[in-house]
Amino acid sequence: MNRSRSGYVYIVLCAVIFSTMEVMLKTVHGVFAPMQITCLRFLVGGILLIPFASRSMKKKNASLSRKDIGFFALSGFLCVVIAMSLYQMSVTYTRASIVAVIFSCNPIFVTVFAHLFLHEDIHRNHIIALILELTAALIIIDPIHATLDPTGSVLAILSAVMFALYSVFGKKRTPRFGGIAVTCLSFLFGAGELVFILLFGRTAAGASLYGTVGLNLFIDVPLFENIPASAIPALLYICCINSAAGFVCHMMAMEKTSAQEASLIFFLKPILAPIFVASALDSGLALLVLALLGLRARGVFETTDELLTSLAGLLCTCIAVDAYFIGCEILTTAYNGTEGGMAVINTLLFGGTAPFFWFEVICGLVIPFCLLVFAKNRRNMKVVGVASALVVAGVFCKRCWLMFTGFAVPNIVGGNGITLGTTAAQAGGAADMWTLMGTYAPTVPEIVLTVGIFALGICAFTVLCQKLLKK
């Protein structure tokens, strides 16, 4: 794999890892103080990276000079102490969703700093991409109608600026030390500086000083005490995956591509959630494979085994992506711990829609992935066909549990159930309008129409293939 291609792989990996950060941080909300979790994630993450960083430095025959120590002290201060602290402070003034969108605009600042300090060229495509990014951010935030706190917005912008500086400065050292070592040393120095700041905030003089300048987040912050055992798995994920692995991928992307290209991580991160797009990838590809197999069997369209094998490999990848997004979908519903969210999760896993969910997970994801992950099976067209059919059936079940699980727990204001919808019920008032439970069973005409629609689609596809694919 060439240098540029591996860099893009790191960009995608980093975007995937970072996309889970808010969800995981939400799971420990209220368990850890904001600056406590910030300190722990970078300290533990840095310690975990020490053996890997040491190996990377030995491989590159690199050693730390006094100038390098000063550089990493500054780099860690920019990232851990300033950028992350400003981010946490901004959340106290405005909504976290707004802060996240503003922070995702840091590629704008990366482009400017990369041009000034790294002498990277700014091309027309870069400008177009940044304009689109800024436009999308403004549309999402909607500053005309949204109530934005100026202090929170400014702090979020400053956080993005500081993180952009950290990224660009880190890029200058990656050729010499490697992305892993740069991340590790920045983490350790930054976490050490933050520990000192937090320990000072636990003294009377420090608390008085921080309170005077409005840095209440740094006052009397616990570090390692009173960590519940139930929060340790989430904490380890945040430290090991979100922080250590995520930032390593970020710096490796910086090392193998340009600073501007690596900043694409923050363009990709907000768009990684659409579950319908993810399922469309594997179901659409599975349908294509089935269509090609069927057309080849009828002698209508010749398709080589090599092409089908390649498509099977791509399908296996798409299945893994779909599984990841399903996990994100469940996490984003369950992490807030609300009564409504947990009710939906219980219905999904154990309620009326549970058979659809588990069929989709087991038969539509796990089994096809296990079949296609082996190269030998991808060369067996019967196995490829079975796996593709299971994927299609699984996605159909997904549509069922996505639709019906949401209706299982109605959230209609003004009633406690499903509307009866009749004229008599409407005339009777709210007491007659709403019922505690609603039932539905498809009628015979509905079943016939559904089957007929699918049959007509298959027939049209077959006829068109015979007409348009004739040699």
Task: Please report the pLDDT score of residue 114 as a whole number.
Answer: 85
Q: Which of 409, 432, 451 is the last residue of a domain?
A: 409
Domain co-membership, 42 together with 131: yes
Domain co-membership, 230 together with 364: no
Domain co-membership, 361 together with 247: no
Indicate whether 426 belongs to any domain: no
Domain co-membership, 323 together with 195: no
Tokens 């040393």 sit at which residue? 185
Domain co-membership, 266 together with 285: no
Domain co-membership, 250 together with 291: no
Task: Please report the pLDDT score of residue 340 as a whole number.
Answer: 61
Total domain count for the chain?
A: 3
Indicate whether 154 belongs to any domain: yes
Indicate whether 419 belongs to any domain: no
pLDDT tens-digit map of 319-347: 887 887 777 667 656 655 556 667 767 77
Domain co-membership, 241 together with 281: no
Domain co-membership, 257 together with 294: no
Task: Please report the pLDDT score of residue 230 as a whole number.
Answer: 81
Indicate whether 430 belongs to any domain: no
Indicate whether 427 belongs to any domain: no
- 281 contact partners, CB below 8 Å, separation of at least 6: 318, 321, 322
Domain co-membership, 141 together with 256: yes
**How many angstroms separate the CA atoms of 246 and 252, rounded?**
10
Q: Which of 409, 431, 455 is the last residue of a domain?
A: 409
Domain co-membership, 207 together with 241: yes
Provide the residue type at 90 as one letter. Answer: S
Indicate whether 366 belongs to any domain: yes
Task: Please report the pLDDT score of residue 412 as a whole number.
Answer: 44
Task: Please report the pLDDT score of residue 2 as a whole number.
Answer: 47
Tokens 């892993």 sit at which residue? 180
Domain co-membership, 256 together with 280: no
Structural domain span for residue 356: 275-409
pTM score of the predicted model? 0.59
Nearest CA-CA partner of 48 in 249, 253, 239: 239
Indicate whether 245 belongs to any domain: yes
Residue ranges in the chain modelled with pLDDT below 50 = 1-3, 271-273, 410-420, 430-431, 433-437
- Going from the C-alpha of 76 to that of each of 187, 267, 401, the distances in angstroms are 6, 24, 46
Q: Which of 271, 303, 322 is the last residue of a domain?
A: 271
Task: Please report the pLDDT score of residue 81 as a whole number.
Answer: 92
Task: Please report the pLDDT score of residue 265 as a whole number.
Answer: 60
Domain co-membership, 54 together with 192: yes
pLDDT tens-digit map of 206-257: 999 998 988 888 999 888 887 888 888 888 888 888 888 888 888 888 777 7
Task: Please report the pLDDT score of residue 124 as a whole number.
Answer: 76
